[in-house]
Structure 1
Amino acid sequence: MSDGNETHAAQLLAAAERGDVHGVVALIQAGADVGVCDHRNRTAVTIAAFSGHAEVVTELIAAGADINAQDDERYNAVLSCGVTGDVEVLRAVLRGNPDLRIRNKYGGIAIIPAAERGHVALVRELLDRTEIDVDHVNDLGWTALLEAVMLGDGGAAHVEIVRLLLKGGADRSIADPEGRTALDHARERGHVEMVALLEAPRGVAS
């Protein structure tokens, strides 16, 4: 890579992080490689997604950025949305047709960290606009439903996520490696509203 290209690459990564749409476009037009990575193997599109810059994500996708590329910690653009809960960025990422089956370092897909962190709008968006596997089990043996109950605080956001997951067809019978279901965990934690949702006949909770 020439010094000029190296400079463009570094500038592209920096522009993506700060959300400089015009700068990103200018650098792409000047020949910057949209597949360039930083020291953590994060591409510009992953950096832009994590930083909350939907317009930059859109421009990078249009320029041919690999939306599925994972960094050293196995994050990519769509998996970053599960962490940040940024719906606008998710919508931009989805226009790039990401592979929603790609797993993070815990073996999970985007809906699992979103459920754990209480990102109601993002969970809703994934369920409404994609065919994401609502019953995906990560390497810990947990689904989005289990994580919403086990790792959530039992508050309004996590209750709503449990409702959305059930409405989206989540299998409440899936148990963790110790054989405990989401209902078992909700009862143990005294999450009354979650218990009511999980005890209701299928279809009633929605």
Structure 2
Amino acid sequence: CVSSYETTSSEDSSGEEDQDEVEEVDSSEPELEQGEESGTAQEEAAAAGEQGDGVQAEVAAGSKEPDARQVLMVLYQEWFRVSSQKDSQAETVTLYLREVGYHTPTLLRYIVNLADGNGNMALHYSVSHSNFSVVKLLLDTGLCEVDHQNKAGYTAIMLAALTAAESPEDMEVARQLLRMGKINARASQSGQTALMLAVSHGRTMMAQVLLDCSADVNIQDQDGSTALMCACEHGHTEIAKTLLDRPECDISLTDKDGHTALAVAMKASHSDMVELLKARADPATVTDPTAPL
């Protein structure tokens, strides 16, 4: 079960990209860990702060209507500056959208769903920054294409599975996002679901929320791994218990190497996990502490 969050690089970008894309920011892929100041492609791109310059110059140079195109590109660049920074404020985003809606209402949906060269929208950025006030604002527009995958094949829901949503307000926004999209969508490069990502990275609370929102516990990724196998590999015993509490959780499934979750736990030498799965596989092996000696 792959634990790292994969991203794309900017090597295959060109000046012929659609006008709704802004300049890609080359990024090496780090994991999105709770409390990190940086580390995702989204954070690095947002920190760069100048995502649209390259495309703006190329488009303006080759356009027959340079003035109109330049205005659009400025709008797009400003949108990412306003909406996609770590410190972006919902009030500022609201003002921007009101202005766009007032002057050019037909552009509003297009702006909200604008993707940069890596395929990341403002929703991807705000989720990865755990900026849930902006996430809620974007969702409340009713215009957000929440199932849009970036070039690495990740949706905002998958990124939400990795975030540090802790307060009740943040978790409610996360639930709103999960209810609006395809919770069991698979990342195109790995076949992993949001639940697998949450489990692999030890996001206990988020894993529970995903399960409460009908995440499928038995989906297998491209290697045949399930969420339970991910928990077994990484030693997340409490999350494994949460998964096993689901009556539909199938511990007999095997990955492409023919390994069950128990075999994965044994290979990783996680003794607590091994005992947990053995007890689940054969209840007769569990010692009753109330039984007479």
TM-score if structure 2 supplies the norm length? 0.53
The code of the aligned residue for 2:183 comes to I
* 2:140 is the alignment partner of 1:23: no
Distance 1:103 1:202, change over 3 A: same
Selected match of 2:158 from 38, 46, 60: 46
For 1:1-206, what aligned pairs fall within 5 Å after superposition? 3-7=110-114, 10-30=121-141, 31-53=143-165, 55=171, 56-62=173-179, 64-72=180-188, 73-152=190-269, 158-169=270-281, 202-204=285-287
Distance 1:165 1:58, change over 3 A: same
Q: CA deviation at 1:52?
A: 4.2
Task: Report the identity percentage.
Answer: 23
**Structure number with bigger Rg:** 2
Give RMSD over aligned pairs.
Answer: 2.4
Distance 1:70 1:53, change over 3 A: farther
Q: Is the 8 A contact 1:37 1:43 kept in 2?
A: yes
The residue that corresponds to 1:186 in the other structure is none
Distance 1:170 1:143, change over 3 A: farther
Q: Is the 8 A contact 2:113 2:145 kept in 1?
A: no
| Partner SS for 2:178 | helix
Quote the Cα distance in structure 2 between the aligned partners of 1:61 and 1:27.
Answer: 14
Q: CA deviation at 1:151?
A: 2.3
The code of the aligned residue for 1:15 comes to S
Distance 1:121 1:133, change over 3 A: same
* Structure 2 segments unaligned to the other structure (5+ residues): 1-19, 21-106
Distance 1:170 1:51, change over 3 A: farther
The residue that corresponds to 1:190 in the other structure is none
Quote the Cα distance in structure 1 between the aligned partners of 2:246 and 2:113.
Answer: 38
Q: CA deviation at 1:65?
A: 0.9
Distance 1:118 1:205, change over 3 A: farther
Q: CA deviation at 1:130?
A: 4.4
Distance 1:205 1:79, change over 3 A: farther
Q: Deviations over 1:20-79 (max 9, x none)?
A: 2211110011221111221111110001102343725312023x2100111121111111
Quote the Cα distance in structure 2 between the aligned partners of 1:161 and 1:205.
Answer: 19
Quote the Cα distance in structure 1 between the aligned partners of 2:282 and 2:236.
Answer: 17
The code of the aligned residue for 2:285 comes to R
Q: Is the 8 A contact 2:211 2:217 kept in 1?
A: no
Quote the Cα distance in structure 2 between the aligned partners of 1:135 and 1:101.
Answer: 10
- Number of residue pairs matched? 171
